Homo-oligomer: A and B are copies of this chain.
Amino acid sequence: MTNFADRLNAAILAKQSQVCVGLDPRLEKLPPSLVDRYRAEPRKGCGCGRHEIGECFNEFGAAIIDAVAPAAVAIKLQLACFEQYGPPGIKAFKHLGKRAAKAGLIVIADAKRGDIGISAAAYSAAFIGRPQGLDGRIDGFNVDALTVNPLFGSDGIQPFMDDCREYDAGIFVLVKTSNPGSAELQDLEVEAMRAENVETSEVSASSGPSASSGENPRKLYEKVASLVDRWGADMIGESGYSSVGAVIGATHPEILAALRQQLPATPFLLPGYGAQGAGAADVADAFDSQGLGALITASRSIIYAGDGEDFAARAADAAEKMRDELWQAGRRK
């Protein structure tokens, strides 16, 4: 194993791609002919169809994974889509994570988990660590990286960082989400009044040129960004990036450019491309001169590019087009 950021960057350079395909299966958006086949099957269990939906997600997801693997660097699996179908849904999540890893893709669990103490440690074990088994540690979902929620503060993030170190995994911390309502709390002006906040400002200021560090007050997402910088400081790999990344909505290009200045060693995970409205020009500032520094996520515009029998081929085409647009936008900088 190698440091997560180094593995990610090696994959980006090898494929000349910053594409992360969001695999967020929704029954009502899947190709009708595919769903109809599972609708016609005799139902297992209580007859509610959960097992058949899990199988349907497996078939759909596997076809998407194989189709986009040449053009994409990573797959991001949205846990909510799977969790709503209970154990069969979680089984499909696990199956598709393994399938994507076999296809050579970096696997990101978009679970946005966060808790405190032993609960945070249990979430970490579930996704990137190794849970306690009957006779020692056993495998969890074993994904490459997990999205996490920073609201609990440093002691809520610590268990995830410990597992990142031990298992060469990564986390992407929510810094500024892509939804309109993100402004309500994340854009609040905050004043760094506590001693530990002042200390954080210094760490942030020393890590590179910044549009905002040192200024008070600043916004909550900038404060979270300074924590991300601090959390990731001793997990920087040979490629110059840390295994502690940041989630930033591609729908906020100006914020993205400022955060790139504030966080020169942080890999970004940028949702909002495609269906949510952001284009290649909006994310170009996230890349360094080599094209490293960010994964751009698209879900609907890739996985639902077609809803006929050729849905996988259409997804492959959409992923390839996205790769080319992004790689060229990065080079035009």
Contacts and interface: CB of A to CB of B under 8 A. Distances in A.
Interface of A: 24, 26-28, 35, 38-39, 48-50, 52-53, 78, 80-81, 83-88, 90-91, 94, 110, 112-120, 122-123, 125-126, 131-135, 138-141, 149-156, 174, 177-194, 196-197, 217, 220, 223-224, 227
Given A122-B84, A220-B188, A180 B151 contact: no
B155 A180 contact: yes
Nearest to A149: B149
A179 B217 contact: no
A183 B200 CA distance: 14
Contact of A134 (B38, B141, B184): B38
B88 A126 contact: no
A200 to B, nearest CB: 9
Contacts of A24: 118-119
A114 B149 contact: yes
A183 B83 contact: no
27 contacts: A24-B118, A27-B132, A48-B133, A48-B139, A53-B134, A80-B113, A85-B131, A86-B94, A87-B87, A87-B90, A87-B94, A112-B149, A114-B149, A116-B177, A117-B179, A150-B185, A151-B151, A151-B186, A153-B179, A153-B185, A153-B186, A156-B181, A183-B194, A184-B196, A188-B191, A188-B223, A190-B220
Contacts of A197: 184, 188
Given A81-B119, A122-B80, A50 B220 contact: no
A86 B90 contact: yes
Nearest to A116: B179
